[in-house]
Chains A and B, each alone.
Chain A
């Protein structure tokens, strides 16, 4: 029993019934395999779903890396390319995403289902950030740079959320959202907007603290 076969059958069940099977036992029985064979590959239906989301990201990354212009792209262009390709692929899975993708409302419970996807995405994003730092596209802010992939993942989830609630023709509003928000994200990590903000905050709060310490002493 191939894991992909299990995934295909599981998707089929969810799409047709609108919900996961009642139990692994019932699902396996329907496939004519033993429960043990299912658990050889996945610990639960949640784990199986987690691998679907991960695969969606992994397939997208493989596909875009094969593009002939990929090498010449800036980090920003690469991230945009990822997004557009992802949502193109996601069209084939839209019903499944709508039914099963962990939405924002239940963000707390979603961490395990999205863990694998997040690791896949973060590895990719970290690579882009390193590249971007090398060619000065991303401002070098030491350890803060390590937090970018996680922030970008949050942005990625917001794009998925936007897409799943988008009702514009051909989901064009999603495209516009990606275009504008990625630009803003890169404006923030490229320019010294953050430095200026910190500087201002330090200036204002520093004085405040000074005063407080003065009166205290």
Chain B
């Protein structure tokens, strides 16, 4: 159970004040750090990042909604953030604050004309999990236990103003460049709006979980449209550990491998066969049950891709393309990563960097079997990201490139790779899915 939040930042002004507060504290942490260094103490930079991450996270979680979602998104793109920030943000999924029970009753009454206790035999007054735009209650009818997700009111409404307020401050706090993160901000906004549509989410959840049924080791909760509405989604309650806690647990490596394999297969089945996938591979969206089945939750964010884009994108996983410069360049053009307006020099830089990236990210596929426990490999992925960010040549041509589809798919893969890495998984990557 989580504590009900004691104070809630309300209105634009207090939100700005809360964020400014965090900005100031980050500054103070830096001062302490450099002050200490000036007097001869040597303090690891990671400690500094940790202190800052906590400050920033506390601020974001007090704000809920848009800012919290943004924190979560940035946490997936490990590349964009120092490790300490990422770990703090990754908590967001299950430790956000809660809203009052009377408001939950209000939502039920308005949507379904009944109180929760008219529908269920029991209904927990406090939320058991918080999420960025809703919270989860536990309910029962007879012996059956349900998880009931209820959305905060007015989330969609306040979204745009929240993000507009948060963006400049967040950029400064996290030391990111506006241009680099612009596509992400747009994506967060779009996705959050999409996630507020519970009617759509319910439909997607049901259809995608039915289509993905039959993959060994993967389970989905059953959804109950009769107890759901535009602000409420009811599904089976399933006991399990969130994936990152399972990863840190004392489970045997072969069990972790099996869990990882199931997730990997599930993703590739959805991407290749359904061309529609769960685009939020956040550890909080996966539960591992006592018999090591993986439960996939939260279809608020799914993405459909077209066949043409699918073909163009996965062409890069063919090891032969790396040696065929002409084909490689044509592939980049099709994805919109190279354009006619690029100068000769820029073109060379882009191609060279893309080659390094494609080889590195495609390596698990080329190998057939792959060990994500190989810390050198994971480290080199993050190093690549960092090097690309710092690369002055790339900086001068950095602009939003490629399709939005690619952002989603890249994000899904980054998420997937970091899940695999956290499980130190050895898996079969080339398994054919029909």
Q: How far is the CA of A190 from the CA of B178 in the complex (A)?
A: 42
Q: How far is the CA of A24 from the CA of B153 in the complex (A)?
A: 44
Cβ-closest chain A residue relative to B7:
A187
Q: How far is the CA of A187 from the CA of B99 in the complex (A)?
A: 15
Asked whether, in the complex, the Cβ of B117 is within 8 Å of the Cβ of A176, the reply is: no
Query: Which residues of A have CB within 8 Å of B253?
Result: none
Q: Which chain B residues numbered 373 to 417 have a C-beta less than 8 Å away from chain A? A: none
| Contacts between the two chains (Cβ within 8 Å), count | 60
B214 CB–A CB distance under 8 Å? no
Q: How far is the CA of A158 from the CA of B243 in the complex (A)?
A: 46
State how many angstroms separate the Cβ of A47 from the closest Cβ of chain B.
Answer: 32
A19 CB–B CB distance under 8 Å? no
Asked whether, in the complex, the Cβ of A88 is within 8 Å of the Cβ of B102, the reply is: no
Query: Which residues of B have CB within 8 Å of A182?
Result: 100
Asked whether, in the complex, the Cβ of B117 is within 8 Å of the Cβ of A69, the reply is: yes
Cβ-closest chain A residue relative to B151:
A172
Query: Which residues of B have CB within 8 Å of A172?
Result: 153-154, 157
Asked whether, in the complex, the Cβ of B101 is within 8 Å of the Cβ of A184, the reply is: no
- Residues A84 and B153 in contact in the complex (CB < 8 Å), given A181-B10, A183-B7, A184-B7: no
Per-residue interface assignment for chain A, residues 122 to 150, with 1 indicating a CB less than 8 Å from any chain B CB and 0 otherwise? 00000000000000000000000000000
Of the candidates A81, A173, A180, the one whose C-beta lies within 8 Å of that of B102 is: A81
Q: How far is the CA of A177 from the CA of B1 in the complex (A)?
A: 25
Query: Which residues of B have CB within 8 Å of A205?
Result: none
Asked whether, in the complex, the Cβ of A88 is within 8 Å of the Cβ of B154, the reply is: no
Q: Which chain A residues numbered 161 to 181 have a C-beta less than 8 Å away from chain B? A: 168-170, 172-173, 175-176, 178-181
Asked whether, in the complex, the Cβ of B7 is within 8 Å of the Cβ of A175, the reply is: no
Asked whether, in the complex, the Cβ of A84 is within 8 Å of the Cβ of B157, the reply is: no
Cβ-closest chain B residue relative to A180:
B10
Per-residue interface assignment for chain B, residues 75 to 115, with 1 indicating a CB less than 8 Å from any chain A CB and 0 otherwise? 00000000000000000000000011111011001100001
Of the candidates A67, A83, A169, A181, the one whose C-beta lies within 8 Å of that of B157 is: A169
Of the candidates B105, B109, B115, B153, the one whose C-beta lies within 8 Å of that of A176 is: B153
Query: Which residues of B have CB within 8 Å of A176?
Result: 152-154, 158
Asked whether, in the complex, the Cβ of B6 is within 8 Å of the Cβ of A84, the reply is: no
- Residues A183 and B8 in contact in the complex (CB < 8 Å), given A69-B117, A77-B101, A77-B102: yes
State how many angstroms separate the Cβ of A178 from the closest Cβ of chain B.
Answer: 8
State how many angstroms separate the Cβ of B327 from the closest Cβ of chain A.
Answer: 51
Per-residue interface assignment for chain B, residues 143 to 165, with 1 indicating a CB less than 8 Å from any chain A CB and 0 otherwise? 00000000011100110000000
Of the candidates A73, A169, A179, the one whose C-beta lies within 8 Å of that of B103 is: A179
State how many angstroms separate the Cβ of A159 from the closest Cβ of chain B.
Answer: 13
Query: Which residues of A have CB within 8 Å of B154?
Result: 168, 172-173, 175-176
Q: How far is the CA of A184 from the CA of B6 in the complex (A)?
A: 9
A5 CB–B CB distance under 8 Å? no
State how many angstroms separate the Cβ of A157 from the closest Cβ of chain B.
Answer: 18
Q: How far is the CA of A77 from the CA of B125 in the complex (A)?
A: 10
Asked whether, in the complex, the Cβ of B102 is within 8 Å of the Cβ of A80, the reply is: yes
Query: Which residues of A have CB within 8 Å of B110?
Result: 88, 170
Size range of the interface on B?
20 to 34
A34 CB–B CB distance under 8 Å? no
State how many angstroms separate the Cβ of A66 from the closest Cβ of chain B.
Answer: 12
Asked whether, in the complex, the Cβ of B106 is within 8 Å of the Cβ of A84, the reply is: yes
State how many angstroms separate the Cβ of B66 from the closest Cβ of chain A.
Answer: 14
A95 CB–B CB distance under 8 Å? no
Query: Which residues of A have CB within 8 Å of B117?
Result: 68-69
Asked whether, in the complex, the Cβ of B6 is within 8 Å of the Cβ of A88, the reply is: no
Q: How far is the CA of A154 from the CA of B261 in the complex (A)?
A: 60
Asked whether, in the complex, the Cβ of A179 is within 8 Å of the Cβ of B99, the reply is: yes
Per-residue interface assignment for chain A, residues 69 to 91, with 1 indicating a CB less than 8 Å from any chain B CB and 0 otherwise? 10001001100110110001000
Of the candidates A84, A180, A187, the one whose C-beta lies within 8 Å of that of B105 is: A84
Query: Which residues of A have CB within 8 Å of B102?
Result: 73, 77, 80-81, 83-84
Query: Which residues of B have CB within 8 Å of A169?
Result: 157
Q: How far is the CA of A176 from the CA of B8 in the complex (A)?
A: 11
State how many angstroms separate the Cβ of A7 from the closest Cβ of chain B.
Answer: 26
State how many angstroms separate the Cβ of A79 from the closest Cβ of chain B.
Answer: 8
Q: How far is the CA of A178 from the CA of B10 in the complex (A)?
A: 11
State how many angstroms separate the Cβ of B52 from the closest Cβ of chain A.
Answer: 28
Asked whether, in the complex, the Cβ of B157 is within 8 Å of the Cβ of A184, the reply is: no
Cβ-closest chain B residue relative to A177:
B10
Q: Which chain A residues numbered 27 to 57 have a C-beta less than 8 Å away from chain B? A: none
State how many angstroms separate the Cβ of A63 from the closest Cβ of chain B.
Answer: 11
Of the candidates B6, B100, B106, B157, the one whose C-beta lies within 8 Å of that of A168 is: B157
- Residues A175 and B105 in contact in the complex (CB < 8 Å), given A68-B117, A180-B8: no
Query: Which residues of A have CB within 8 Å of B125?
Result: 69
Cβ-closest chain B residue relative to A193:
B7
Query: Which residues of A have CB within 8 Å of B99?
Result: 179
Per-residue interface assignment for chain B, residues 108 to 146, with 1 indicating a CB less than 8 Å from any chain A CB and 0 otherwise? 011000010100000001000000000000000000000
Cβ-closest chain A residue relative to B5:
A183
Q: A84-B109, A172-B154 are in contact. List 7 more A-B contacts (CB 8 A).
A: A69-B125, A77-B100, A84-B105, A168-B157, A170-B110, A180-B10, A184-B8
Residue pairs across A and B with Cβ atoms less than 8 A apart, 7 shown, are: A81-B105, A84-B103, A88-B106, A170-B110, A172-B153, A173-B154, A179-B103
Of all A-B residue pairs in the complex, the 10 with the closest CB atoms, nearest first, are A80-B102, A84-B106, A180-B10, A172-B154, A175-B153, A172-B153, A81-B102, A176-B154, A168-B157, A80-B100
